[in-house]
Amino acid sequence: MIEEFVSISTLMICTFLSTMVVGIFMLQVWLTDRRHAAAGYWCLAMWVGSLCTILFALRPIGFPLITVGLGNALAAFSYAFMWAGFRVFDRRPLYLSVVLAGPVLWCGAYLLLRPVADDVNNRVILTSIIIAVYSIWMGLDIWAGRRHERLPTRSIAAFFFVTHGIIYSLRIPMAIAAPAELGHGTAYSAWFALFSLELFAHTILSAVAMLVLIKERGEALYRQASRTDTLTGIANRGSFLEDVQAHLARGGQGTLMIFDLDRFKAINDTHGHVAGDAVLKHFSARVSSWLEDGMLFCRFGGEEFALFAPRHDIDQAADFAERLRCEVAAMSIAHEGREIGVSVSIGLADVAAFGADFDRLQSAADNALYAAKEAGRNCVMRWTPSEGLADIAERMRVPDAAPAFNASIAG
């Protein structure tokens, strides 16, 4: 028989040791960085689970109110705290009623219902329902979190918990069809030993999954920080170039827009650099709220920004840029009781005209931006290859000739 090869007592000892070790690691993670609040809940879940295992191991000694009643209540609390940890990890609402539901259900049934207190199989059925519900709920929550954060281990962790919940729920029909016998204070049967082995394996796998998820979250935050402008919170120049060049390498089309806040130095000189920073943040937030799906927006440096519209030709981009220019011109930024008005000059160049070389595309958009400033600022200009040729020809004219300007104003 399987129970001759799988010692439930040995499994309890191994489960106790593993949960204690994982709990220590979780505590270290939480103490090192309190932003990992989930680690605190998981640490609590592991240590409560360890205490639960000790009480289960003491069942042959007696005191069923402690070893059975309190032990199973702690098992329910362990899964409830684990559920709470995953809710916190994914920034989902945490409900105290759900945390308490499993333990309260068990305590009420054990203390008030004699069939539960007196029959080990009824206790198996009730604990299986509680643990299966928590486990499947955790798995579904982990899977749903993929919509917002695609950590590599999410799918595996979701699989662990959902399958554990399903397997654990199979104890219910087994307890009905082949009731376990009570011996030395605990249940003994072939199927009970197998489920205890699965519980031990799940404890190890889920603990590893939690630690890996925390590690992957930290790495993701570090990567995000390296791609983000610290002042405005939008993409920085490096990440923008990486994303646009990847798009161009795939043969994608689109239009590059370069923005420059007009007379920004005067804002700093008149209102101070704190006010200038407020203008940059407000401008970034407003433009970000107007972006269409797939657009890339970044702070290029100083008061200069860039936007790449992958599905816009030059005419569509010019219309979009003109709407942005009008919206910015209508903005009024309040700072320390003063209203600060801003305007923006925008230069455009499209991939269809200048090809997939980003340097050439940027140079053309820069030329259009300079043209917008020469034209009096607060306007949108586009650059085409013909304007580039005209500019070269203009520079080759005799010095006393009057300069000519060939860039076109969008719209």
pLDDT tens digits, 191-204: 777 787 888 888 88
Same domain, yes or no: 182 and 299? no
Q: Which is nearest to 160 in space by CA: 211, 209, 90, 196?
A: 209
Same domain, yes or no: 218 and 260? no
Where is pLDDT greater, at 181 or 8?
181
User: Is 231 within the bounds of a domain?
Assistant: no
Where is pLDDT greater, at 277 or 384?
277
> Given the structure tokens 């989930």, which residue do they identify?
38
**pLDDT over 70 (residue 243):** yes
Mean of per-residue pLDDT scores for the chain: 86
Where is pLDDT greater, at 390 or 102?
102
- Give me the catalytic one of 303, 322, 327, 394: 303
- Residue range(s) defining the domain that contains residue 381: 237-409
What is the per-residue pLDDT for 108?
96
Average pLDDT on 323-328 reads 92
What is the per-residue pLDDT for 19?
82
Identify which of 33-42, 100-109, 247-256, 401-410 has the greatest average pLDDT.
100-109
Same domain, yes or no: 336 and 249? yes
What is the per-residue pLDDT for 363?
94
What is the per-residue pLDDT for 404?
37
What is the per-residue pLDDT for 98?
96
Relative to beta strand 296-301, strand 255-261 is: unpaired
Helices 154-169 and 190-226, interaxial angle, to 10°?
160
Same domain, yes or no: 222 and 246? no
| pLDDT tens column, 32-87 | 877 788 999 999 999 998 888 888 877 777 688 998 899 999 999 999 999 999 99
Average pLDDT on 184-193 reads 67
What is the per-residue pLDDT for 237?
92
Average pLDDT on 212-226 reads 85
Query: Which helix (DSSP H) or strand (DSSP E) does residue 347 occupy?
Result: strand 344-350
Based on the structure, what is the number of domains in the chain? 2
Has 303 been annotated as catalytic?
yes
Same domain, yes or no: 261 and 184? no
Give the helix ranges, DSSP H, for 58-95: 64, 71-89
Relative to beta strand 380-382, strand 344-350 is: parallel
What is the per-residue pLDDT for 402?
37
> Given the structure tokens 């955790």, which residue do they identify?
138
